Structure 1
């Protein structure tokens, strides 16, 4: 009983020690917000949000399924291989039709501390040069929004 109590207390002390050593900063779900004025807006093309290769994978699986319905024995195996290859090529070509760049903006904001911050995001028509804005988040998730 004493050993069990000691082990529970040791585990609790270890957990408290780890929590105390955790790096201070944002908690999960919190977002950093900075403010500033837009210095410059440049229009850029952003990569589409389509995932590369999905069309080929889906087409290949569809071709495999269709090929498995044809024939039997080694002829069926050949039909499955050809269906997979043909489906992958067709799926890739179909995806290329829809994989167009998206219009975006590169926005340069001078923060209230005098630091220049560049954020690239999808186009927001409500933003203009000289406007007071907030920069929400950081890194790839940063967004510029009107104040």
Structure 2
């Protein structure tokens, strides 16, 4: 009887303790949506995450691989060197094509609580100064969308 009573009391105490630790809205990954009015929109560029050096390295390795298939002896060595140089140049130019920054907008929103929030995002057509908007998310993932 004492063991059962102690088990029930322990289970109840554990449930109360775990419930007290949970705070509404503080779960990780929850989305916060705030409202406000756009005060300013400025055009900007968003840098891409592409690295031109990666293209040069991959192009060089591909050039060495193709050069190693040509000839034999000294001719093969020369073909590998020429392939490495040519592949590096070609890979760098190809990677440069994809490293151009994206067109973006720097949007300043005055929330209903009076806080000024700045969000940089890709261009969203239809946003204008004075428009009521939602700010979805936080940090890097924040986006301004029309109401």
Instruction: Return the alpha-carbon distance in structure 2 between the equivalents of residues 102 and 128 of structure 1.
Output: 20
Structure 1: segments with no counterpart, 5+ residues: 1-12
With normalisation by structure 1, the TM-score equals: 0.73
> How far is 1:105 from its partner?
0.4
Distance 2:118 2:143 in 1: 10
Greater Cα radius of gyration, structure 1 or 2: 2
Distance in 1 (CA, whole Å) between partners of 2:52 and 2:138 is 25
**Match status 1:33 vs 2:33:** yes
Once structures 1 and 2 are overlaid, which stretch shifts more, 72-81 or 129-138?
A: 72-81
Q: How does 1:1-147 map to 2 (within 5 A)?
A: 25-28=26-29, 30-48=30-48, 50-73=50-73, 75-147=75-147
Native 8 Å contact 2:109 2:118 kept in 1: yes
**4+ runs of 1 displaced by more than 6 Å?**
none
Cα RMSD (Å) of the superposition? 2.7
Tell me the CA shift for residue 49 of structure 1: 5.2
Contact preservation (8 Å) 2:51, 2:95: no
How many residue pairs get aligned? The number is: 128
* Stretches of structure 2 lacking an aligned partner (at least 5 in a row): 1-13
